[in-house]
């Protein structure tokens, strides 16, 4: 672990900040993608519920 920190201290802080920003943005994109998939699934679930409700009433 100390080897990792000694390597880290030789890297400029701006470089570390840039890498962190990239990581955070990638994580946010994944969260947004998962959220949109869940939204789509909710809509599909709603449509299926309504379709089955119409068939069961007849």
The residue ranges of every structural domain in the chain are: 12-57
For residue 17, CA distances in Å to 9, 12, 30 come to 13, 9, 20
Residue 1 has pLDDT above 70, yes or no: no
DSSP string across 31-57: HHHHHHHHHHHHHHHHHHHHHHHHHHH
Q: What is the reported pTM?
A: 0.53
Q: pLDDT tens across 18-50, in order?
A: 899 999 999 999 999 999 999 999 999 999 999
């Amino acid at each position: 672990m100390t080897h990792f920190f000694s390597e880290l201290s030789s890297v400029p802080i701006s470089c570390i900040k840039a890498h962190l920003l990239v990581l955070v943005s990638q994580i946010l994109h994944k969260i947004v993608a998962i959220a949109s998939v869940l939204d789509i699934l909710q809509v599909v679930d709603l449509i299926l519920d309504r379709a089955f409700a119409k068939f069961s009433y007849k």
